[in-house]
Structure 1
């Protein structure tokens, strides 16, 4: 199976990168399933139903969120009627968070793809329940090679160590563990010892002439003066579509190939060879 995951979409340039490039890329790479993290798609803060529908029409099969899940209040109700939209799985049960954090998608040919999103706690503004405990329960509910033919884990958090720990924790139980939230693509794509593809952060879909997708002048002013400044807003240059491609073994669901995807904008382009 051929899978792709695209990192946090930031503002209008990120949305344009997805809508402009994903349809052709899906055909070129013969992708069976696509996940897009859309938590910063609406002006850098949250996701709206209209934007989500644009991503679905462009070829996304599943959208994930993160710590900005509820920045657009309509997401609180939209997520209840849209099973293709996932928020972090490890919200406290008592919080009554709408929607869900894991889902099994059935493709037209009958193959099944599991997707789950987790949110870490180190250096994060929200403190959710233990992501590793929730990962166990979800992985047990959709075992790779039995209940699902492929399984993707989006680990949304700040700390590199927490993402890496989750990758090794899920090794042998997932097709791909990929990090989101920090908006910078890491150069550590690998297949772990027990067959799970891993990347610490897929990077963002957005304008890289920026500070993690936001106008660089605002960030520089805040760091240099230590004073509050203008509200952060997305940089508006050409966006880069940034993500990861994984090809799995049909019999096991484990990864046999993993490569970066970078199209457009300021990063050096990298597109996996078809076939």
Structure 2
């Protein structure tokens, strides 16, 4: 989220990679510009140079028009798969090679309280069937507003994908778990950006809108502490089943497990 989020990745991701030693690092970058919507070519390249393997997007995928100039040139930047297939640039999944094994990374967007895109359940159903001919290690970033929709798609795909991790609400949830058929699930991974804002925005404008019910222009908070939120998922590369999921949360002034 904003410049603070990009700088938090630059500052903490190398330390995290030394400590945790992840084989694949996935970052949702749909709010990465300085104004908090969309992503630019330079920010995408910065995230890649900092050690990110895949960047996923969401409902703000197209908020910075520059993305149209480069999204088709890379297979490491993916947008929600359930945007209209025949007219949307980019793609909704990618395959990453990890020590001779492939990890499929999927990006889907929910529809409850959001834009009415194509049905994520039926499209995920078909895509997962297709990908299972190649790999049983499948990770999904499900970008959605409603908790119920996030859990519903995770339970629907339980045992067929390795993990479903939610994004979009900017608040990390405390429900990381392994579902009955061994799919890892977290309702929301949380936000990387300004720790003292409101979902990354300056508080005064947000509070003012609640008080007076008038439209307000939200601005990304640029000062104060930063926060980095996410999770770590362990996957059995033979079965594709998750064996563990744990949240991580870093701030500039403290580290929390």
TM-score by length of 2: 0.95
User: Cα RMSD over matched residues?
Assistant: 1.4
Q: 1:141, 1:57 → 2: CA distance?
A: 31
Deviations 1:191-227 (A, max 9, x none): 0000010000000101121111111111001111001
Q: How far apart are the structure 2 equivalents of 1:267 and 1:21?
A: 12
Q: Which residue of 1 aligns with 2:146?
A: 159
Partner residue of 2:105? 115
More deviation, 148-157/196-205: 148-157
* Aligned counterpart for 2:172 among listed residues 185, 192, 198: 185
Q: Secondary structure at the match of 1:117?
A: strand
1:141 paired to 2:130? yes
1:232 paired with 2:218, answer: yes
The 4+ residue runs of structure 1 with deviation greater than 6 A are: none
Task: Supply the distance in 2 between the matched residues of 1:100 and 1:255 (Cα, whole angstroms).
Answer: 25
The correspondence for 2:60, drawn from 64, 68, 76, is 68
Question: What's 1:12 paired with?
Answer: 3
Deviation at 1:268, TM superposition (A): 5.7
Q: Distance in 1 between matches of 2:18 and 2:248?
A: 14
Taking the aligned partners of 1:27 and 1:210, their CA distance within structure 2 comes to 29
CA deviation map 1:237-266 (0-9, x unaligned): 221110010111232121111101111247
Name the residue aligned to 2:70.
78
Instruction: Check whether the contact 1:209–1:266 (CA below 8 A) recurs between aligned residues.
Output: no
Alpha-carbon shift at residue 149 of structure 1 (Å): 5.1
- Gaps of at least 5 residues in structure 1 are 1-9, 271-275
Q: How does 1:98-113 map to 2 (within 5 A)?
A: 98-107=89-98, 109-113=99-103
Q: In structure 1, how many angstroms separate the alpha carbons of the residues matched to 2:254 and 2:245?
A: 19
Matched ranges for 1:150-229 at <5 A: 150-229=137-216
Q: Which moved more, 1:231-240 or 1:175-184?
A: 231-240
CA distance in 1, matches of 2:200, 2:2: 8
- 1:25 counterpart residue number: 16
Q: Equivalent residue for 1:128? A: 117
Deviation at 1:81, TM superposition (A): 0.3
Say which of 27, 46, 68 aligns to 1:36.
27
Q: Does 1 or 2 have the higher relative contact order (CA < 8 Å, sep 6+)?
A: 1
The alpha carbon displacement at 1:233 in A equals 1.4
